[in-house]
Amino acid sequence: MTETSALTGQAYIVTGGSKGFGYAIADSLLACGAKVGLLARGQQGLDDAAKKLSEQHPHENIFTQRCDVANSDDIRQAFANTKQQFGRLNGLINNAGLARPGSVETLREDEVILQMNTNFLGTVLCSQAAIPLLRGEDNPRIINISSASAWHYNEMLHLSIYASVKAAVERFTRDLRLECQEDNIGVTCIRPGAAWTEFAEGWDSERLTAGVEAWAKRFGTVSDSGMDVSHVAESICYALSYPPGVAVDLLEVRPNSIASKEAW
């Protein structure tokens, strides 16, 4: 069974869908014939993403709505509207995430709360909202995006909160998988390594530099490199393409080339 035949006509929600991994995931799903609801906090980013995607894919397969994944009211409305738009909902990709670099000593409280709310609380709230909408649908799925930072010690330093909440996402996903089996909802955790995205956009340059320098001092001046957002998107389509009753449990995708950390 090809990815295209498995996903054609299916409808999925992608959180954090206006850029980075989320945009690439939406692009790949649309290329497989799926319908995609893109959710993100910024309306302009969603408008730009939809316009660009419409140049390659049928515009009727694309739906966007502004949504803060830490706000349950936003989530319920966006999910209901997406299902109404497409007449079905077959899956949720919990991709929305962000990080703020900083040593533990220098982290601000608002930065800690923002990372916890976006990366973990958002995954929980979106999963809660999705379950009743997915129940009874054709081959329903929930995919949660973790990070190699949650597992590997040699990832970039000064991202302690981001790594911690992504580890919480993985543990949450284990229980979610068990609970969703009764409704035949497949649950998958995807653990990507570093890829070039807008992920570090807006980071404080001095704190980013400090994190990279600490990383190089502890683990050397080179790191794994060479992965593109499209590789992560392909792994999502792969996981979604399994038949009902079979689910990828945990899939890690990491770069396998070497590059200098000075590129950061």
73-82 LR contacts (CB < 8 Å, sep 24+): 75/125, 75/126, 75/129, 76/129, 78/13, 78/37, 78/39, 79/13, 79/126, 79/129, 79/130, 79/133, 80/133, 81/37, 82/11, 82/13, 82/37, 82/39
DSSP-based helix, strand, coil % in the chain, nearest 5: 50, 15, 35
Active-site annotation holds for 162: yes
Q: Which segments within the chain are labelled E, that is strand?
A: 11-15, 35-40, 62-66, 91-94, 141-145, 186-192, 222-225, 250-253, 257-260
Active-site residue (options: 153, 162, 238, 242): 162
Give the sheet arrangement for strand 35-40, strand by strand. Answer: 62-66, 35-40, 11-15, 91-94, 141-145, 186-192, 250-253
Question: Which residue reads 């799903």 in tokens?
Answer: 29
Q: Output the CA angle 165-19-234, nearest 5 degrees.
A: 80
Residues 6+ apart with CB under 8 A from 201: none
- Supply the residues annotated as catalytic: 162
